[in-house]
Amino acid sequence: MFLSFLTAPRHGTQLFLFVLGAVLVFAAVMAALHTLPPRAKRWLIVACTFVAGLFYLLEFMLPPGTLMPPPGPGEGPVTDNFLSRYVEPVGYVTQIIAAVAIGLGVINLARVNSAPLLRFRPGWQNSLAFFTGLIVMLVVGLWRWKLLLNVTTVAQEKAVNESTIGSLYRFLFDGLYSNLGGTVFALLAFYIVSASYRAFRLRSAEATLMMITAFIVMLGNVPVGTAYLTGWIPDGHWYSFLKVEHMSDWIMNTPNMAAQRALIFGIMMGVIAVSLRIWLSLERGRFFEQEL
Amino acid sequence: MQHASLTIAILEALAAFIILYKILSAKRGRELFIRRIPGLAAIDEAIGRATEMGRPILFSPGLAGLDVTTLQALSIAAYVARMAARYNTRVIVPVMDPAVYPVAEEVIREAYAAEGRPELFNPDDIRFLSDRQFAYASGVVGIMNREKVAANFFFGYFYAESLILGEAGTQIGAIQVAGTPATTQLPFFIVSCDYTILAEEFYAATAYLSREPILLGSLVGQDWSKVALAVFIVVGVLLSTLLGPQSPVITALTAQLGGG
Amino acid sequence: MSGWTLATVVAGAVSTLAIFSLLYKENPVYRFFEYLFIGLATGYGLFRAWSDVLYPRWWIPMYQQGQWWWMFPFLIGLLYYTIYIRKLAWMSRLVIGTLMGLGAGASFQAIATQYAPQIAASFRPLLPPNWSPLSAVRGLIRAAAPEFVDRYVPASVPNNLTAAELVNNWIVIIILLSVMTYFFFSFEHRSPVVRGAAKFGRWMLMISFGAVFGQTIMARMALAVSRLWFLLVDPRGLAGPG
Amino acid sequence: MEAGLGSDRTRRTLYLLLAAAIALPFFAKTVIPPVVGREARALYEAVESVPPNKIIVLSLEFEAGTIGENLPQTRALMNHMMKSGKRFAIMGFDPMGPVFGQREAEDLAKRWNRPYGKYWVNWGYKTAVVQTLKAMIRDIPGTMVTDHRGTPLSKLPVMDGIKDAKDVGLIIDVTPSALYEAWMAYFAGPGGVKMGVAPTAVMVSDIFPYLDSGQIVGMLKGLAGAAQYESLVFGRDARERGITWMTSVSMTHILIIALIILGNILEIAARRRRTAT
């Protein structure tokens, strides 16, 4: 009975009261926990981490049907265990917590950029650019989102995109943001060209082996390599292996594949080890150890 | 598979048991041996170089969120910060993920405190630049040039921007050491850094550096689990050779392991 | 082309050239656009967090469907901000610890589904199955325990493996075990076999990194090609498709 | 402080050389048709074999930085799906991926006459990767709730009969990062769904073990993969964007190989001169 009272949806002032109640209850619980001695707080963190880890671990390890009613007549075999139906809600809750945490980084960026602006130190115009970019994109983005909220037909959407807000948003998003992001990446190609001439030295036999393999793979990827360099070698003979794309194909599918697989097995054991340490709060050192 | 098959449960339980056993014996004080990977000498040399030139060190803990790799990168950052604190050299830590920011700040603050130099720690040296990959990379390049850093450390998980970081560091003549499990970025770190710690050696570096019983134990445990896995694969190969790849034993094992 | 589209194209060209100006040298124009980019990126991340997560997942269920209990995840998220209050900072570690516990627990399934099939894919035959000595061995086993044998040791085994596949199987197994040996840390590589295997493993890693290097070059070039294409051939594209 | 690469003159000439190697082929008439690799053909067949009662999920995880590679891949895949009338859904774990995908799809929808909501849908940007993927196995409409505009999915005919992982014929992840691993570990693996991947070329080498074990059925290797897929969809003499750009990419590769060899020759010569004096 009490449970159904709690889970009944609330609207209007009732909703406001219940939300307020939730905040008060949450604050009370956190205040109570705050009075705990440091050892108990540390134990609470360890316990929460353990239970959180145990949830997904058990949900995966327990065979289907554990603690579940047997399948009724005509129903297929049960594929879940008693924890499986909580996987989705846990997913939604984590999404909300992660979204709320995004503000954390913004506060830090604002802190770092406000100093030059307030004290008018050199480079203040850069911090001004930062804040203008942030606020304008946020306001215009949310305003356009609000306009698009109850739009369903394509015509309505077209109207919003053509409106001043829609055009301003495209100016910020397509004009500035996408081009800035895309070009930062394109710089890499230019860095590689100068590095090719100045940094990629065949210092050792290993570097030479790496570079020869790189040349084969590069030529195998591009039409100029496949068409002109070894295009004249006919297919279908044992020596057609010398065609650049076949050599590159073999390098990728055999030696590269085997070496990458060995790396995978290493990473596999590494992930087991570190997951155990986090889950059982064995992870001593730096972050986890100081007093509370 | 939605739920673990018997073979998977046994394999993971066996690996977990070996690793936990080694961790607990390390905690009880048993001496565990790890060979010194060459990359570590490079880290010490780089810090020494920065202190001689009296210019700051930059340590990027990578672009992954608050996960396994970033935590290990931060324990290397702690080692670097403790060495830097001894010679009062600044360590700048640009961060890309809001969740990593508080952890990084704690780690560096605690490292300076552990060396008895809490006053040296400057919270503004821990900087969240942006949660967008290339805004972060260009921000780090900006810091390198403006602060004229002497040594760069790139530890953690990196993506395409690894060359931007390595290249910009080479330009300003900084000594650079990198270590990442991101195999796709290793060729570029190998090319533009003075030394690169390869894939798993990244985890061996943290275990060796910190001599932490937990890390040592888990690394030795991982080694033995990998030996067990290698033996299991050799047995599988022999069975596949003797009985043929389509034999019931092999097809059953493959199905149990979730194979295609 | 409407006034706004022209303005967007000009903004696109100016931004592209401003970032490319770093190639000439670090300059105030580049730095201005760098900070503008970080600001836009942060603003964009914030508004998407609201429009794509908090609104559909939190605001609608709570304010429109009246499920008031969705306030709790929001409050738990707020605990992150206790990092700024020294005395309450332990609460932020409570949330971080719980989220990391979830991540650690989930990784056991990730390992099973992502990495375990790699073990099965390594069981490759090194000899043609119907090779006479192998058939002889199988015959011996069949003679020794017939009832056990029927299920596991087939009488005849088709040889559908070409010579090339067998050679490749040998190469894959040898490289796999050598590279694994390179990454053994808990004992010194003293015996010549182990040292040789580790050395060979490191060489094979270099081939694999060469492959990675070659692929990466193409990736980078493609990005520069698209930038110059929009600047030189199709400036209209600077304002985004459609 | 000079942010360039050492001595200016050499650096700027190298940059101009690259710009020329890229720009000149833009105006070349002839285009060299690509050789189609085995991974691109496998992905083409995987898309072809998806039955009409199942949907293809096209997850776009890229941002502005890698549109040079990921956009031609997305465009080539969408051309194929719309040409053969396959049902597909766009989504992404990066806010910008689905936005780029939406614009490309609207552009192509006119070309192939495939209206939104009937043949394709956009589920929009999602956060918390692991939890979303695990939840999608059981209940896709419940996890997605609405499309990117807020229209309830129940109103869109393309979603008819789409309940959980069994109704997904193929998942293709277009990504510049290792997010495909999460798709493999928390959705394709447990849900038993066939998976293809279109990574930036940087990620290609990592993926071969998963092709070998069958966990991934096909792959587009960066821009080269997009060009190869275009020649499969439009035939050998297609002039789509991927193929035209690959001519420039070819020229840059020749330039880089030449520079590496030249750089090393000059280095050896300089070293010999130094030891000689």
Contact D5 B159 (CB under 8 A): no
Contact D209 A260 (CB under 8 A): yes
Single out the residue of D184, D177, D97, D175 nearest to residue D137, CA to CA.
Answer: D184
pLDDT at C153: 65
Domain ranges of chain B: 6-31+213-256, 39-210
For C34, the closest of B138, B190, B207 (CB atoms) is B138
* pLDDT tops 90 at residue D260: no
According to the CATH classification, is domain B39-210 in 3.40.50.1220?
Answer: yes
Assess D23–C contact: CB distance below 8 Å, yes or no.
yes
Closest-CA residue of chain A to D226: A221
Assess D151–C contact: CB distance below 8 Å, yes or no.
no
Give dist(CA C224, CA C19) in Å, integer: 13
Domain co-membership, C147 together with C195:
no
pLDDT at B68: 65
Domain co-membership, C150 together with C175:
no
Domain co-membership, C54 together with C88:
no
Q: What SS3 state is found at D200?
A: coil
Contact D260 A196 (CB under 8 A): yes
pLDDT tens readout for residues A255-273 = 999 999 999 999 899 889 8
* pLDDT tops 50 at residue A286: no
Residues of B in Cβ contact (< 8 Å) with C31: 142
* pLDDT tops 70 at residue B217: yes
Percent of all residues in chain A with a pLDDT value above 90, rounded to a whole number: 26
Residues of B in Cβ contact (< 8 Å) with D66: 160
Which chains have 3+ CB pairs within 8 A of C?
A: A, B, D
Single out the residue of D35, B182, B191, D241 nearest to residue C217, CA to CA.
Answer: B191
Assess A73–B contact: CB distance below 8 Å, yes or no.
no
Q: Is the dihedral of CA A183, A188, A191, A197 positive or negative?
A: negative
pLDDT at D7: 55
What integer is the mean pLDDT of A152-159? 77
pLDDT tens readout for residues B163-180 = 778 767 877 778 889 898
What integer is the mean pLDDT of D122-148? 84
pLDDT at D5: 41
Chains C and D form CB pairs within 8 A to the count of: 146
Give dist(CA A49, CA C104) in Å, integer: 9
Distances (CA, A) of D45 to A115, B62, D77, D233, D241: 58, 38, 12, 11, 22
Q: Name which of A194, A244, A263 to mutate to probe chain D: the one with the most chain D Cβ atoms within 10 A of its Cβ.
A: A194
Sheet holding D88-92, edge to edge: D120-125, D88-92, D55-60, D168-175, D195-199, D218-219
Q: How far is D113 from chain B (nearest CA, A)?
A: 36
Residues of D in Cβ contact (< 8 Å) with A261: 209, 212
Residues of C in Cβ contact (< 8 Å) with B254: 117, 120, 123
What integer is the mean pLDDT of D205-212? 90
pLDDT tens readout for residues C87-133 = 888 899 899 889 889 989 988 888 888 888 899 899 988 888 777 88
| Mean pLDDT score of chain D | 88
Q: How far is B196 from chain C (nearest CA, A)?
A: 13
Q: What is the ipTM of this complex?
A: 0.81
Looking at the structure of chain C, the number of domains it has is 4
What integer is the mean pLDDT of A173-194? 86
Q: How far is A242 from chain C (nearest CA, A)?
A: 15
Neighbours of D261 (CB within 10 A): 14
* pLDDT tops 80 at residue D3: no
* pLDDT tops 90 at residue B183: no
Q: How far is C149 from chain A (nearest CA, A)?
A: 30
* CA gyration radius, chain D: 22
Give dist(CA B16, CA A245) in Å, integer: 43
pLDDT at C150: 61
pLDDT at A289: 47
| Mean pLDDT score of chain B | 85
Q: How far is C51 from chain B (nearest CA, A)?
A: 17
Domain co-membership, C25 together with C4:
yes
Residues 190-219 on C with a CB inside 8 Å of B are 205, 208-210, 212-213, 216, 219
For C214, the closest of A170, A185, A214 (CB atoms) is A214
Q: How many residues in chain A?
A: 292
For B242, the closest of C134, C177, C220 (CB atoms) is C134
Q: Name which of A100, A217, A269 to mutate to probe chain B: the one with the most chain B Cβ atoms within 10 A of its Cβ.
A: A269
pLDDT < 50: residue spans in chain C:
242
Helical H segments across chain D, by residue range:
8-23, 38-48, 67-83, 96-112, 129-138, 140-144, 179-183, 189-191, 204-212, 222-234, 241-276
Give dist(CA A124, CA A130) in Å, integer: 10
**CB-count exposure of residue C241 (10 Å: 0-12, 13-18, 19+):** middle
Contact A277 B183 (CB under 8 A): no
Contact D222 C228 (CB under 8 A): no
Question: Could you give the count of Cα atoms lying within 13 Å of B151 in the half-sphere of its Cβ?
Answer: 29
Contact A266 B23 (CB under 8 A): no
Give dist(CA D211, CA B133) in Å, integer: 28
Domain co-membership, C185 together with C231:
yes
Domain co-membership, C72 together with C53:
no
**Tokens in use for C196?**
């040789």
pLDDT tens readout for residues A211-254 = 899 999 999 888 887 777 777 778 777 777 888 888 888 999 99
* CA gyration radius, chain C: 31
* pLDDT tops 90 at residue A285: no
* Residue-range definition of the domain harbouring residue C145: 126-160
pLDDT at C242: 45
For D134, the closest of A87, A182, A211 (CB atoms) is A87
pLDDT tens readout for residues B67-117 = 767 888 888 898 899 889 988 889 999 998 877 898 899 989 988 998 888
pLDDT tens readout for residues C36-48 = 998 998 898 888 8
pLDDT at C1: 66
Residues of B in Cβ contact (< 8 Å) with A274: 68, 71-72, 203, 218
Q: What SS3 state is found at C210?
A: helix
Give dist(CA D259, CA A188) in Å, integer: 16
Domain ranges of chain D: 8-28+249-276, 38-239
What integer is the mean pLDDT of D78-102? 91
Neighbours of A33 (CB within 10 A): 14
pLDDT at B232: 94
Assess C76–A contact: CB distance below 8 Å, yes or no.
yes
Select D38-239's CATH number: 3.40.50, 3.30.300, 3.30.70, 2.60.40.
3.40.50
Contact B229 A270 (CB under 8 A): no
pLDDT at B162: 79
Question: Could you give the count of Cα atoms lying within 13 Å of A26 in the half-sphere of its Cβ?
Answer: 18
**Residues with Cβ within 8 Å of residue C164, at least 6 apart in sequence:** none
- The answer to whether residues B160 and B187 touch, using CB atoms and an 8 Å cutoff, is no
Whole-structure pTM value: 0.81
Single out the residue of A28, D92, A149, A64 nearest to residue B1, CA to CA.
Answer: A64
pLDDT tens readout for residues A85-143 = 888 788 788 888 888 888 887 887 888 788 778 888 777 888 899 999 999 999 999 99
pLDDT interval class at B229 (50, 70, 90): very high
> Which residue has tokens 């009969």?
D161
Neighbours of A44 (CB within 10 A): 16
pLDDT at B132: 64
Q: What SS3 state is found at D116?
A: strand
Percent of all residues in chain A with a pLDDT value above 70, rounded to a whole number: 95
pLDDT tens readout for residues D105-114 = 998 999 999 9
What integer is the mean pLDDT of B38-59? 89
Domain co-membership, C170 together with C242:
yes
Closest-CA residue of chain C to A61: C109
Distances (CA, A) of C206 to A211, C105, C197: 9, 34, 14
